[in-house]
């Protein structure tokens, strides 16, 4: 399936970039007699449901016009990353400034705080004990924490 995913990505990536979006992932999996094509996109500020729907139509038309999927029918799913996506790239941190995060460092320590600033090499977290700088190279795992009553009302 990796070869199919590569062909799909080569067809869709320019269209996604033209919309000002980042292609996070393309996954192609068997689903009965069809294939499930899952495309994950994101951008600073996020993407609306209407934006996802419009992009889905554009991508579907492009796949139909190409031979990337061969003759096998497929189901296209276009989505944005969920809150459970690990923060692995500096852009993931930047897109989540203001959110609460739990970070496990490579040295085994953990820190929990609100992302105050995100740069290419490090982030600053506002913790209960004050600001903490964390180098991205020192992060072994980081996940956004779900908040039902965010302080800013968001």
Q: Convert the pLDDT of each residue in 83-131 to its tens digit.
A: 777 888 888 898 889 989 999 999 999 999 999 999 999 999 999 999 9
CB-based contacts of 145, cutoff 8 Å, min separation 6: 99, 100, 101, 102, 112
- Of the chain, the percentage scoring pLDDT greater than 70 comes to 96
Q: What's the pLDDT band for 151 if we cut at 50, 70, 90?
A: low
| Beta-carbon count within 10 A of 4 CB | 18
CA distance 94 to 123: 9
Structural domains present in the chain: 2-79 (3.30.300.70), 90-144 (2.30.30.100)
Cα distances from 119 to residues 55, 84, 92, 142, in angstroms, run 29, 21, 11, 15
Residue 72 in this model has a pLDDT that exceeds 80: yes
Could you tell me the maximum CA-CA distance found in the chain, to the nearest angstrom? 59
Q: What's the pLDDT band for 1 if we cut at 50, 70, 90?
A: low
């Amino acid at each position: 399936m990796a070869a199919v995913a590569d062909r799909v990505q080569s067809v869709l990536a320019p269209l996604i970039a033209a919309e000002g979006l980042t292609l996070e992932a393309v996954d192609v999996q068997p689903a009965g007699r069809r294939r499930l094509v899952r495309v994950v996109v994101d951008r600073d500020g996020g993407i609306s449901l209407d934006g996802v729907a419009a992009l889905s139509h554009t991508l579907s038309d492009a796949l139909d016009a190409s031979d990337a999927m061969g003759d096998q029918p497929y189901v296209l799913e276009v989505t944005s990353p969920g809150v459970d996506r690990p923060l692995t790239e500096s852009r993931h941190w930047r897109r989540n400034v203001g959110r609460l995060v739990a970070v496990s460092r490579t040295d085994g320590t953990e820190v929990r705080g609100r992302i105050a600033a995100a740069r290419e090499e490090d982030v600053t977290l506002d913790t209960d004990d004050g600001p903490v700088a964390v180098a991205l190279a020192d992060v072994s795992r980081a996940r956004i924490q779900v908040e039902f009553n965010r302080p800013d009302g968001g």
